[in-house]
Structure 1
């Protein structure tokens, strides 16, 4: 059983005068476009913002270390890559 793929024939239609493109028309179209402007890069003296700021947080007297073990799971692409122990501190800051 050998099936051969049949290539469809192209429609035979004569081009209209409006459809024909001359080289002078192409040159005019190319020169009518605005020139490419390269985007500016940030200045070299750009400094990254400070990562951690001092919160000036005072721990309340009622704050204590939790009686049971608490951990925070760090996920990446749905997989646990690390655990952060939260039970050793009276408070934790996230964000």
Structure 2
């Protein structure tokens, strides 16, 4: 039960993180069109993370104990890729005037 709770808490954080699909990624794509392919990849990875969260929620305890590395591999790879592509691009987008 504890493994499932930790995994689901991690996935909840990633689900909130995926909310950038609606605002952040389109803004980056508008200002830096050369990153559109990378942004499409990030959107697809967000869907994969959502599927992983569903797997965790329905997996039996034995499977959770056997497969934590596999279940965490894709989300961690996604975050690494996003840090390499999106964070530098996001810093270049001008903030709206207040």
Could you say whether these structures have the same fold, taking a TM-score greater than 0.5 normalized by the shorter chain as the test? no
TM score, norm. by length of structure 2:
0.20
TM score, norm. by length of structure 1:
0.20
Structure whose alpha-carbon radius of gyration is higher: 1
Higher helix proportion:
2
